[in-house]
Structure 1
């Protein structure tokens, strides 16, 4: 399972392949990057590289756009989800620290 997670997040796919897999135009993909909805890596030559996770995100964005959701709303939802994930992660770490040191919450 760890290998599955690692390959999904590796940024090795160029924009041409992403275009083929998603059905989006290069302009649409770049626009979603400009709107801070997707974050490809760049090679030293400036070529964008995407992961399978990025492709899943792009497909989700395309579906939401088709449903009439604005990019601003999509970004707000992404920020909100990230905030919740960060809080859950913080609580998990705090729980592990408490368990390690035998601290009980009242």
Structure 2
């Protein structure tokens, strides 16, 4: 069951509009986080960004950390550190 949950949460199927609505972030903020290599959406054949539930959780976490004054470089190091410890 846990494996199904992980694959469900990692499916990149949501568009920018849905992500904006779910996170409360602007398109510019989301693109900025992508530019800073904090989140990695997939692209459809037409170039549309696609996000997963995991991406949404990550975006919310990033926005909270930025509100606390944490710099994007520190957030990126933390994200990469977390990813390394999972694998």
Coarse TM-score class (shorter-chain normalised):
over 0.9
* TM-score (structure 2 length as normaliser): 0.93
* TM-score (structure 1 length as normaliser): 0.77
Partner residue in 2 for 1:40: 41
- Gapped runs of 5+ residues in structure 1? 87-106
Partner residue in 2 for 1:30: 31
- Gapped runs of 5+ residues in structure 2? none
CA-CA distance at 1:7 after TM superposition: 1.1
Paired with 1:21 and 1:36, the residues of 2 have a C-alpha distance of: 21
CA-CA distance at 1:40 after TM superposition: 0.3
Superposition CA RMSD, Å: 1.0
Higher-Rg member (1/2): 1
Give runs of ≥4 in structure 1 deviating > 6 Å.
none
Aligned residues: 86
Paired with 1:83 and 1:9, the residues of 2 have a C-alpha distance of: 17
SS in 2 for 1:81: helix
Shift of the 72–24 alpha-carbon distance from structure 1 to 2, 3 Å rule, reads: same
SS in 1 for 2:33: helix
Structure having greater relative contact order (Cα 8 Å, sep ≥ 6): 2
